[in-house]
Structure 1
Amino acid sequence: MSTTAADELDVLRVRDWLRGVETGTVGDLSATLIAGGRSNPTYALTDGDRSWILRRPPQGHVLPTAHDMGREYRALSSLKDSAVPVPRTVGLCTDPSVIGASFYVMDKLEGITLRTQNDTAQLTEAQRAGLAGSMMTTLAELHAIDPADVGLADWGKPDGFLERQLRRWQRQWDASATSERPEVAELLRRLQAGLPSRSYPGIVHGDFKIDNMMIDRSDPAHILGVLDWEMSTLGDTVTDLGILCSFWDHEGEFFNPITAGATALPGFPTRDELVDRYMIARGIDVPDIDWYLVFADFKIAIILEGIHARHTQGHTEGEDFAGVGEMVGPLLGRALERASASSVTGLAG
Structure 2
Amino acid sequence: MADLNPDSATRIRPGEELDLAALTAYLNDTVPGFGTITACEQFPGGYSNLTYLLKTNSQEYVLRRPPFGATIKGAHDMGREFRVLSLLQSAGYPKIPEPVVFCDDESVLGGPFYVMKRVSGIILRAHTAPKLNLPAEIWRRASESLVDNLVQLHALDIQTTGLIQLGKPEGYVRRQVEGWHRRYVNSQTDDLPDMDALARWLTDHLPAENPPTLLHNDYKYDNVVLNPDDLTDLRAVLDWEMCTVGDPLMDVGTALSYWAESNDGPFEKSFNLTWLPGNLTRQEFADRYAAGSGRDLSGILYYYIFGLFKNSVVMQQIYTRYQKGLTQDHRFAGLLAGVRALARKGIQSIEHQKML
Instruction: Please confirm whether the aligned pair reaches a TM-score higher than 0.5, indicating the same fold.
Output: yes
Distance 1:198 1:3 in 2: 43
- Counterpart of 1:295 in structure 2 is 306
Q: Deviations over 1:242-267 (max 9, x none)?
A: 11111111112114468534111111
Distance 2:269 2:241 in 1: 17
Inter-CA distance 289–158: structure 2 relative to 1 (3 Å threshold): same
Q: Deviations over 1:187-240 (max 9, x none)?
A: 111111111123231111111111101111211111111011111111111111
- Counterpart of 2:107 in structure 1 is 97
Inter-CA distance 306–3: structure 2 relative to 1 (3 Å threshold): closer
User: After the TM superposition, which of the residue ranges 270-279 and 13-22 deviates more from structure 2?
Assistant: 13-22
Structure 1 portions without partners, runs of 5+ = 344-349
- Counterpart of 2:144 in structure 1 is 133
Inter-CA distance 319–19: structure 2 relative to 1 (3 Å threshold): farther
SS in 2 for 1:301: helix
Inter-CA distance 93–29: structure 2 relative to 1 (3 Å threshold): farther
Matches within 5 A, 1:106-125: 106-122=116-132, 123-125=134-136
Matches within 5 A, 1:12-27: 12-27=21-36
- Counterpart of 2:62 in structure 1 is 53
- Counterpart of 1:177 in structure 2 is 188
Pairwise CA RMSD: 2.2
Q: Is the Cα–Cα contact under 8 Å of residues 111 and 217 in structure 1 kept in the other structure?
A: yes
- Counterpart of 1:336 in structure 2 is 347
Matches within 5 A, 1:193-272: 193-256=204-267, 260-272=271-283
Distance 1:226 1:19 in 2: 27
Code of the residue aligned with 1:101 in structure 2: it is G
- Counterpart of 1:282 in structure 2 is 293
Distance 1:84 1:303 in 2: 29
SS in 2 for 1:98: helix
Q: Which of 323, 331, 343 is the equivalent residue of 2:334?
A: 323
Is the counterpart of residue 150 in structure 1 residue 161 in structure 2?
yes
Q: CA deviation at 1:28?
A: 3.3
SS in 2 for 1:75: helix
SS in 2 for 1:14: helix
Q: CA deviation at 1:116?
A: 1.1
Q: Deviations over 1:170-189 (max 9, x none)?
A: 11102211111122222111
SS in 2 for 1:214: strand
Is the counterpart of residue 70 in structure 1 residue 52 in structure 2?
no
Distance 1:279 1:225 in 2: 23
Q: Is the Cα–Cα contact under 8 Å of residues 269 and 275 in structure 2 kept in the other structure?
A: no
User: After the TM superposition, which of the residue ranges 169-178 and 254-263 deviates more from structure 2?
Assistant: 254-263
Q: Return the TM-score normalized by structure 2.
A: 0.90
- Counterpart of 1:309 in structure 2 is 320
Inter-CA distance 141–194: structure 2 relative to 1 (3 Å threshold): same
SS in 1 for 2:129: helix
Structure 2 portions without partners, runs of 5+ = 1-10
User: After the TM superposition, which of the residue ranges 118-127 and 82-91 deviates more from structure 2?
Assistant: 118-127
- Counterpart of 2:47 in structure 1 is 38
Q: Deviations over 1:78-97 (max 9, x none)?
A: 11254461100001001111
SS in 2 for 1:331: helix
Code of the residue aligned with 1:106 in structure 2: it is M
Inter-CA distance 319–18: structure 2 relative to 1 (3 Å threshold): farther
Aligned residues with identical type, % of pairs: 34
Q: Is the Cα–Cα contact under 8 Å of residues 92 and 104 in structure 1 kept in the other structure?
A: yes
Distance 2:204 2:316 in 1: 24
SS in 2 for 1:31: strand
Q: CA deviation at 1:49?
A: 2.9
Aligned residue pairs, count: 343
Is the counterpart of residue 166 in structure 1 residue 177 in structure 2?
yes
